[in-house]
Amino acid sequence: MTILVFGRTGQVAQELATYDGVISLDRAAADLEVPSACAAVIAAHAPAAVINAAAYTAVDKAEEDEPRATMINGETPGAMARACADLGIPFVSISTDYVFSGEGEIPWMPEDSTGPLGAYGRSKLAGEQAIQAAGGAYAILRTSWVVSAHGTNFVKTMLRLGAERDALTIVADQIGGPTPARDIAAACMTMVAQLATDPSKAGIYHFAGGPNVSWADFARQIFSLADLTCAVSDIPSSDYPTPATRPLNSRLDCTALETVFGIPRPDWRVGLKDIVKEVMG
């Protein structure tokens, strides 16, 4: 089963590249700012399935670069989905909790009303809507707080800062589920395989690590595993202003994914051990 993956350097894309049968495309092979070019690549390869693990992920920069973010996160995934629908093959695309408003404390269900707070969330929501409109065997996988031993992410930043400093102030009123990229990749592979034989499973699903935790408590767990003595002080988001507003409630209800695809919610503490070990050598 040949699976075409858009993305090569991202966290999830690097994990997907370890699977047999995966063909990874970087931006030289598929320009994400040219939707028709990405659709043409799918037609040329004629794979058994496509996974979109590429995205414009600069949340703060998107506030001043929304047209480009919307092209990459919105229009291009739509073109990919239409190309897959034309070929009759499954398409899985990774989305985000940023499509929600971040209000309340109840975990978001896939069918809940969206309400993105900024440009990044709006661009990803546009992609979701375009994929749904394409009408093929699709799955949109919303996830949150992606971490791995690759690229730039919270775990790697904390390991670096924790080794350099005695104390840090970290936001404690944003709650969500850290999600190892390795688990996301495995989920995507399972989903495309099942969609190939049962297109009725198409839809939007949530996948995030458990248990839910604040960024501050997540940092404490990282430091504990790495034997770093850096002290963490809790602060509210208002004390750490950013160009783009972050959702306070990033909790995702992952029940549907387990019910339909048999993919359980992963324990991020298990994945974190592997990530810390890999980063620290």
Active site residues: 120
Residue 50's DSSP bridge partners are 4, 91
* DSSP β-bridge partners for residue 204: 140
Q: Which two tokens stand for residue 43?
A: 């037609």
Helix, strand, or coil (residue 147): strand
Nearest alpha carbon to residue 114 among 95, 101, 133, 129: 101
CA separation, residue 219 to residues 7, 22, 246 (Å): 28, 33, 18
CB distance 30 to 38 below 8 Å: yes
3-state helix vs strand vs coil in the chain, percent to 5: 45, 20, 35
- HEC profile for 203-255? EEEECCCECCEEHHHHHHHHHHHCCCCCEEEEECHHHCCCCCCCCCEECECCH
Instruction: Please name which of 89, 185, 76 lies closest in space to residue 131, comparing C-alpha atoms.
Output: 76
